[in-house]
Amino acid sequence: MTTIIKRLQSGVSIGVEELPHLKSASIGFWIKTGSRFEPPTLNGITHFVEHLLFKGTKKRNSSFKIAKEIESVGGHINAFTGREYTCIYSKVLPQYIMKAIDVLEDMFHNSIFDADEMNKEKIVILDEIKMQEDDPEDYVTELFMKGVLGQTGLGQSILGSHKTIKKMSRDVIFDYYKKNYVENKLVITIAGKVNGEKLIDSIEKLFDASKTNSNSKNNSTKINGENFKNVIDICIKNIGLTYFVLGTPGLGSKSNDRYKLAILDELFGGGCTSRLFQKIREEKGLVYDIHSSHSNFTDIGVFCVSGSCLNINVNEVLTLILNEMKKIKKGEIKKSEIEESKVKLLAGIEMSCENTDARMVKLGKNIISHNRDIPDEEAISKIKEISVDDIYEIAKKLWNNYCSLTILGNFKDKERKSLVRRIEEEIQSL
């Protein structure tokens, strides 16, 4: 496997990983703009723009024509919006990689943002917001992020709100697109059965520096660090189960300790052999699903435990979670747990080599966060070096003075107040 990275004169960064043993290729256009950077009055606009990119360009003037270009050769095309970046991507057979690049470049440069299409898509996004509110697992996570990171910046919803979406006009959306879809905010990553040097030469012609969007000059994205807030929030909703997210500060994407946290995450709540699953699902039978996760951003991270249970069991479940955290903080960690978690992470790295989408995403995130690729060998070496003491130290560092909780369930007011008091006492003992 060979990886080539180059920054063009136009400001575009390109990364290509050649995977000659595979039979497909994935390409992503990563734009360094997300919900974190939106003014509150325009919350949701980045996601709105992502939707409208698929509604037509000057060359392909309908959503059907954009989709047909890719699907007619057996490929697929899609996109996602995050808190710090947006990605439009495609997967095709290698002989059609330039077709996919041409379509994505056209969407990036020449989307038309037809007013009628915008009004129709506005209804779709309002439905998407309602769909999120109807999904307790998704909705409680959204409430948690707002609680610990605030109503602006990272804490903002990616989708926006009914109020902000309804107010957005075509001119405001198009202006946002022109200011943010610029060359020096663009990272292109490709992984698969391709010739990297030839691809980069072809892409460079599409992004001629003399034709670069003038908005791209000195158009850097400002990062404002959000502080993790201690919050206990119980939200009332008429649903059958109680859903919860318990979280602490995590690590930013550039932290040297990120591999240590990955091991802690894996052994704590990463799978069916994890402490949480074995204790709370298998031994106690109190939940169907329980797991931990870590979201990292440029300068901050959030470590979470998520799950659902019956109302009458929520206090016991949360107590069990906190007890397991306390044990790890006391150093009650077996070397065998660390080694098994290492095996899982190392296997994940190896298996990703069979998936062009996974390699394209890994390369994109690395270039955005580190301005380089992180070779598998480097990650493997760092994972293998991790000791029991490393996990003990990272747990003490992160599971300290800050711990927040959001619960979504059907509680009476008296039950809610009683639960808050009990949980506050448990968290304070962490």
Arithmetic mean of pLDDT, 382-403:
94
Instruction: Convert the pLDDT of each residue in 303-344 to its tens digit.
Output: 999 999 999 999 999 999 999 999 999 999 999 999 999 999
Residue 217 pLDDT > 70: no
Integer Cα distance of 171 and 113 in angstroms: 9
User: What CATH number labels 2-216?
Assistant: 3.30.830.10
Nearest one of 278, 280, 268, 274 to 395, comparing CA atoms: 268
pLDDT, residue 30, reads 98
- Tell me the per-residue pLDDT of 46-97, one tens digit each, with 9 for 90 and over: 999 999 999 999 999 999 999 999 999 999 999 999 999 999 999 999 999 9
- Which pLDDT does position 372 carry in this prediction? 96
Paired sense of beta strands 186-192 and 13-18, if any: parallel
Q: Are 147 and 231 in contact (CB under 8 A)?
A: yes
Question: Around 337, how many Cα atoms within 13 Å sit in the side-chain half-sphere?
Answer: 25
Other CB atoms closer than 10 Å to residue 71's CB: what's the count?
A: 13
Decide if 2-216 and 232-428 have a common fold.
yes
Question: Tokens in use for 80?
Answer: 């996602």
Coil, strand or helix at 187 = strand
- According to the model, what pLDDT value does residue 221 have? 57
| Dihedral angle computed from the Cα positions of residues 197, 203, 208 and 209, in that order, rounded to the nearest 10 degrees | -70
Residues in the chain: 430
Q: What's the pLDDT score for residue 211? A: 60
DSSP 148-168: HH-SSGGGS-SS--HHHHHH-
User: What pLDDT is recorded for position 212?
Assistant: 64
232-428 topology per CATH:
Cytochrome Bc1 Complex; Chain A, domain 1 (3.30.830)
Residues facing 211 on adjacent strands: none
Is the pLDDT at 176 greater than 50? The verdict is yes
Q: Where are the alpha helices (DSSP H) in 91-218?
A: 97-110, 115-134, 136-149, 162-167, 170-180, 196-206
| pLDDT beyond 90 at 415 | no
Tokens of 61: 């003037």
Q: Is 224 helix (H, G, I), strand (E, B) or coil?
A: coil
Find, among 156, 222, 224, 221, the residue nearest to 182 by Cα. Answer: 221
- CA–CA separation, 325 vs 328, rounded Å? 5
CB-CB contact of 290 with 305 (8 Å): yes
Q: List 244's β-bridge partners, or say none.
A: 307, 407
Mean pLDDT calculated for residue range 155-177: 97
Mean pLDDT throughout 35-45?
A: 97
- What's residue 218's pLDDT? 43
For residue 36, which phi and psi values (nearest 5 degrees)?
Answer: -60, -30
pLDDT band at 429 (very low <50, low <70, confident <90, very high): confident
Mean pLDDT of the chain: 94
List of residues 6+ apart from 221 with CB closer than 8 A? 32, 33, 37, 185
CA gap 99, 351 in Å, rounded? 28
Q: Which amino acid does the sequence have at 318?
A: L
pLDDT over 80 (residue 222): no
Residue 224 has pLDDT above 70, yes or no: no
Rg (CA), the chain: 23
C-beta separation of 140 from 243 below 8 A? yes
pLDDT at position 117 is 96
Q: Where are the domains of the chain?
A: 2-216, 232-428
> Could you say which DSSP state residue 63 is in?
H
Give residue 423's pLDDT: 85
Beta carbons of 191 and 363 less than 8 angstroms apart? yes
Token pair listed for 2:
């060979």
Task: Give mean pLDDT, residues 93-122.
Answer: 97
Structure tokens at 128: 């998407």
- Model pTM above 0.85: yes
Query: If you average pLDDT over residues 35-49, what whole number do you get?
Result: 97
Report the C-alpha dihedral over residues 361, 362, 366, 367, rounded to 10 degrees: -40
* Contact between 122 and 172 (Cβ < 8 Å): no
